Structure 1
Amino acid sequence: MSREKIDGQLFSYTGPAFHYINEEERHFFAKEPAQFRVNLIGCGMIGMEHMRVATRVGRSAIHGVFDLNERSVKVAKEEFAKITDEDFKVYDSLEAACNDPEVDGILICTPNFTHLDVLKVAIKSGKHIFMEKPMATKLEDAYEITKMAKEYGAVLQIGLQYRYKSIYSEAIHEVLERKAVGEVKMINIMEHRIPFLDKVNQWNKFSKFSGGTLVEKCCHYFDLMNLFAQSRPVRVYANGSQSTNFRDFEFKGEKSDILDSAFVTVEYENGVRAGFNLCMFAPMFHEELLVCGDEGRVKAAEIEDFSENARLRTEMEVFCGQNRPSKTSQPSYPKLIEASGHNGATWFEHIAFADQMAGKKTNSATVEEGFWSVVVGCAAEESVKTGKIIEVAELLKSKGIDL
C-alpha cells in the first residue's frame, strides 16, 4: 500500500521507538509539516489529552505551554516526550504565551471558572482560539463571551466535542442530514458512569468552581439535545441530588456539593421535548441516545464496562417502519483514533480547529451553541435547587441578559 493511499498523519509514528530514523530518511513514517503552531494554556488532564491528540493529528504543532502548576508542566513534558522528539517552550506568563508572534492559535484548557479571565487576555492577541467546555460557569460570563465573540475576527471554537463521537456523528447524519426519522419530536439521552476523576486542587468537586455537574459534565449532552431539536429551550425542570459520591469529601476545609444523579426535562420553542438521565455512581460508562420523529426512531449507544465478557462497544439502530429501510450498525473509528481521547471525538475536534484556522467551514460548536448548552445546564441546576420549573426567558432576564 503506498503512503498516498493512507492517512499519512494517522500512521506517522514519531515516538521514542522511531527516534533511530532521521527525519530525512523517513518515507512511510514521514511526518508532514504542521500547518499551524499553537500554545496550550493549562496542562491538566484535558490539556494533556489535547497536547497528545494535536501532536498525533499533526495539523497543529504544540509550540509552548503555560500553567501555574509546576507539577503539571513537568508531567506535560514527560508525556510530550513519549509521542514526539520535539520540545515545547514554557512561558512565565499568560500574556507571553498568548502574544508569541510565532504562534497561530491558543488552546484554553484551564479550570472552568478561569475561562473568561484567560479569554480576556487571549482575545487581545487576535489569534485563533479553542476554549474547552463549558465556556463559562455563570450565565453572565457566558453571555459576555458571546458578545466578545461577535466582535472577534478570528476563530473561537468551543470544546463540545461529543458531536464527533462515532455514535453521535452517525446519529446527526441520520437525523439532521438524511432525515431518517422525519420531524424530530422527542429526544432522550442517558449517561451512567463512574464518579468525577481527580483534578488539580479538586476544583471539579465544588459547584462554585465547576458550575455544577449539570453545567460541567452535562453541557455536552445539552449541546446535543439543542442540536437535534434545532430550536431554543424555553423551560427546564430538573430534580437531582448528591446521593452517593463525595458526601464526606472535603478539600481545604470545604465540603463537596456537586450532584451525582439527576433527571432533566427540556421543552423547546418548536414543541420538541427532551429528557436527560444522569447517574455518576455506576460501575461502567454507558451513553445512550434516542431520537424519535414522526417517521422513525434512532437509537445509539456507547458502552464500556469492566467485565471479562465480550460485548458490543457501540451500536446504532435506525428503525423507520414502512417509510424506508431500517438498519443496525456499530459505528467506530480506527483503534489509534479511538484510543487518543474521548473515543476519537477529540481527534476530529482538532481536525475541525485546524480546518477553521485554514478558512474552512466546519460543524464544530460555535460560541452561540456553547452559550445555549450552558443556559440549559444553569437552568437545570437552578431547578434542582428551587424545585421549580425554570422559564428560560425569565432566568436570562434575571441575569441582565437581553437576547
Structure 2
Amino acid sequence: MKKNKEFANRGHALVPKFAYVPEEDRFLMDPGPLKYRFNVIGVGVNGQEHVRVTMLEGRCTVHGVYDPNPSSVEGARRVKAQFSDEPLVVYDSLEAACNDPAVDGLIICTPNHTHLDVLKVAVQSGKHILLEKPMATNLKDAYAIWQMAQSYPKVLQIGLQYRYKPIYVEAIHEAKVRRSLGEIKTITILEHREPFLDKVRQWNKFSKYSGGTLVEKCCHYFDLFNLFAASRPVSVYASGSQAVNFRDFEYGGERSDILDNAFVIVEYENGIRANFNLCMFAPMVYEEIVLCGDEGRLKASEGENGQAHSQWGSYLEVICLPDRTSRVMTPSYPALIEESGHSGATYYEHLRWIDAMDGKPSTAATAEEGFWSVVIGVAAEESVKRGEKVTVRELLEANGLGHL
C-alpha cells in the first residue's frame, strides 16, 4: 500500500489510545525509515524545542547533545524520552559533539555571543548546520559567518523561523504570490509581550552578550521587513528605553542594560517604509502585521492574554479595491504542531532544513538574509544610543564593510 505522507507523523503515535499498537504494525503513524541524525549544541529552552520538533516530525532523530549545564541536558533527555526509548548521547566537549561520524547535522542554540566561535568548530565537521538567530551580535561576526557560509559545502541555515508562523506564511502568500495588495508601500509590525525569560547565567539581560533587544529579539521581524520589502535598507531611526524591566537587575557585578520598549523606522532603497513597535512589559503575547499596498491592505495578528474568556487567536484580513475579493481567515497548523513551540514555526523550519539537506529548494533563511536582519538590529540599537537616524552605508563603512 502507498502511504499517505500527510499522515506519516510520529505525533499520532503520542495519542494514548494508540500506544498499544506495536511498531511493526504501524502504518499511518509510521514516519518511514530514519533519514538523518542531529546533535544539538546548547539545550536550553530553544535547544529543547529543537529536540521536540525533530522527534515529533519523525523522519530524523536527535542523537546527542552538548551543554555544560547539567539541568539543560536533563531537560533535553526528558524531551527525547517522550518520543523514543533510544538513549540520548551526552558529549563532554564541543569538538566531540560536532565530529561524531554517526551524526549528519548540527543545531547550534548557544548564547548569541558564542555563535561565531562555536560555528568555527562546527564547520570543521562538514555537517549540515542550523544556526539559531541572531546569527551574531555585531556586524563583523555576522559578516564572517555569511562569508563562511558562501564556501561551506553543506547547508548552513539561519534560524529565523518566524517566516513560518501561520499568519506570516499567509501574509507572504497574499502579498508576494497572489499580489492581493498590488505594490507594497508600507509595513508595520507590532509585538507586545512579557519580559525576557530567565536564561542560564542570565546572558539575555546584557547587550554585550545578546546584541541588545533589537538584535536578539527583533531580528525575526527585521527579517520579515526585508522579505516583504525585497530591497536593501537605507536608513534606520529608533527611539527606545529601559523603562520597566530589569532596571535594578544585577548579575556577576553587572547591571542589566537591555531595552524593553522601542519604535523603529526603516527606509528602503525602493521607497518602502517599515515601522516596528515593541513593548516587553505588556501582560500578554501579541503580534500584528499591517501591509499597505496601492491596491489593498492586509492585517494579521496572533496572541494570547491568559484571560479565561479570551477569544484571541490567529486572524488575517485582506481588504482590496472593489475589483478584487476581500477575505478574512484564521491561519493555523494542527494543534499538536503549534503546541510544539513558536506557533509551529520551528517545526516547519525543520522541514525546510531537511528539504535543503535533500537538495530540494528551500525558503529558509540564508546566512545572507541573516546578515541583513542583524544590520537593521545593530543600526536600531545604535540609533537609540545616538538619538539620531543611522544610515546603513555609514554603519557598514564604520565596520569595514563599505564594499557591500
Both structures adopt the same fold (TM-score exceeding 0.5): yes
Runs of 4+ in 1 over 4 A off after TM superposition: 14-21
Report the Cα offset of residue 29 of structure 1: 3.1
Alignment deviations for residues 34-64 of structure 1 (CA, whole Å, 9 cap, x no partner): 2111111001010000000011011221011
SS in 2 for 1:264: strand
Alignment deviations for residues 308-335 of structure 1 (CA, whole Å, 9 cap, x no partner): 1241401101111223111111111111
Query: What is the correspondence of 1:350-361 to structure 2 with a 5 Å cutoff?
Result: 350-361=350-361
Query: What is the correspondence of 1:43-82 to structure 2 with a 5 Å cutoff?
Result: 43-82=43-82
Contact 1:9 1:32 in 2 (8 A): no
Aligned partners of 2:345 and 2:200: how far apart in 1?
24
Aligned partners of 2:143 and 2:16: how far apart in 1?
45
Aligned partners of 1:28 and 1:85: how far apart in 2?
20
Map of 1:188 onto structure 2? 188
Q: What is the TM-score with the length of structure 1 in the denominator? A: 0.97
Aligned partners of 1:334 and 1:129: how far apart in 2?
27
Map of 1:382 onto structure 2? 382
Q: Which amino acid aligns with 2:383?
A: S
Aligned partners of 1:209 and 1:140: how far apart in 2?
15
Aligned partners of 2:11 and 2:205: how far apart in 1?
39
Q: Does residue 400 in structure 1 map to residue 383 in structure 2?
A: no
Aligned partners of 1:197 and 1:102: how far apart in 2?
34
Q: 1:301 to 1:178 in 2, by over 3 A?
A: same
Map of 2:93 onto structure 1? 93
SS in 1 for 2:13: coil
SS in 1 for 2:7: coil
Aligned partners of 1:122 and 1:42: how far apart in 2?
13
Map of 1:362 onto structure 2? 362
Q: Does residue 175 in structure 1 map to residue 213 in structure 2?
A: no
Which stretch of the first structure deviates more once superposed, 259-268 or 55-64?
Answer: 55-64
Aligned partners of 1:15 and 1:85: how far apart in 2?
17
Report the Cα offset of residue 81 of structure 1: 1.1
SS in 1 for 2:65: strand
Report the Cα offset of residue 12 of structure 1: 3.6
Report the Cα offset of residue 6 of structure 1: 4.1
Map of 2:107 onto structure 1? 107
Aligned partners of 2:14 and 2:106: how far apart in 1?
23
Aligned partners of 2:8 and 2:219: how far apart in 1?
34
Aligned partners of 2:135 and 2:104: how far apart in 1?
21
Map of 2:212 onto structure 1? 212
Q: RMSD of the TM alignment (CA)?
A: 1.6
Contact 1:14 1:84 in 2 (8 A): no
Aligned partners of 2:214 and 2:197: how far apart in 1?
16
Aligned partners of 1:166 and 1:301: how far apart in 2?
10
Alignment deviations for residues 148-203 of structure 1 (CA, whole Å, 9 cap, x no partner): 11111110100000000000000000001111111110000000000001111110
Contact 2:11 2:57 in 1 (8 A): no
Report the Cα offset of residue 251 of structure 1: 1.0
Report the Cα offset of residue 84 of structure 1: 2.1
Aligned partners of 1:88 and 1:252: how far apart in 2?
33
Q: Which amino acid aligns with 2:151?
A: E
Q: Mind listing any 5+ residue stretches in structure 2 that lack a counterpart? A: none
Q: 1:255 to 1:5 in 2, by over 3 A?
A: closer
Report the Cα offset of residue 88 of structure 1: 1.8
Aligned partners of 1:3 and 1:152: how far apart in 2?
35
In the comparison of the two structures, how many residue pairs are matched?
A: 402
Q: Does residue 239 in structure 1 map to residue 239 in structure 2?
A: yes
Contact 2:10 2:31 in 1 (8 A): no
Report the Cα offset of residue 102 of structure 1: 1.4
Q: 1:161 to 1:329 in 2, by over 3 A?
A: same
Report the Cα offset of residue 24 of structure 1: 2.0
Q: Which amino acid aligns with 2:62?
A: I
SS in 2 for 1:54: helix
SS in 1 for 2:361: coil
Report the Cα offset of residue 27 of structure 1: 3.5
Report the Cα offset of residue 252 of structure 1: 1.5
Q: 1:377 to 1:20 in 2, by over 3 A?
A: same
Map of 2:325 onto structure 1? 325
Contact 1:19 1:85 in 2 (8 A): no
Q: Mind listing any 5+ residue stretches in structure 1 that lack a counterpart? A: none
Map of 1:253 onto structure 2? 253
SS in 2 for 1:13: helix
Report the Cα offset of residue 70 of structure 1: 1.8
Q: Which amino acid aligns with 2:349?
A: E
Contact 1:356 1:362 in 2 (8 A): yes
Aligned partners of 1:148 and 1:47: how far apart in 2?
23
Q: Which amino acid aligns with 1:234?
A: V
Aligned partners of 1:28 and 1:164: how far apart in 2?
25
Aligned partners of 1:39 and 1:155: how far apart in 2?
15
Report the Cα offset of residue 243 of structure 1: 0.1
Aligned partners of 1:21 and 1:327: how far apart in 2?
43
Aligned partners of 1:7 and 1:24: how far apart in 2?
16
Aligned partners of 2:18 and 2:328: how far apart in 1?
40
Aligned partners of 2:11 and 2:48: how far apart in 1?
21
Aligned partners of 2:21 and 2:323: how far apart in 1?
57
Aligned partners of 1:16 and 1:88: how far apart in 2?
23
Contact 2:66 2:94 in 1 (8 A): yes
Q: 1:94 to 1:165 in 2, by over 3 A?
A: same
Contact 2:11 2:336 in 1 (8 A): no
SS in 2 for 1:300: strand
SS in 1 for 2:191: strand
Query: What is the correspondence of 1:265-344 to structure 2 with a 5 Å cutoff?
Result: 265-344=265-344
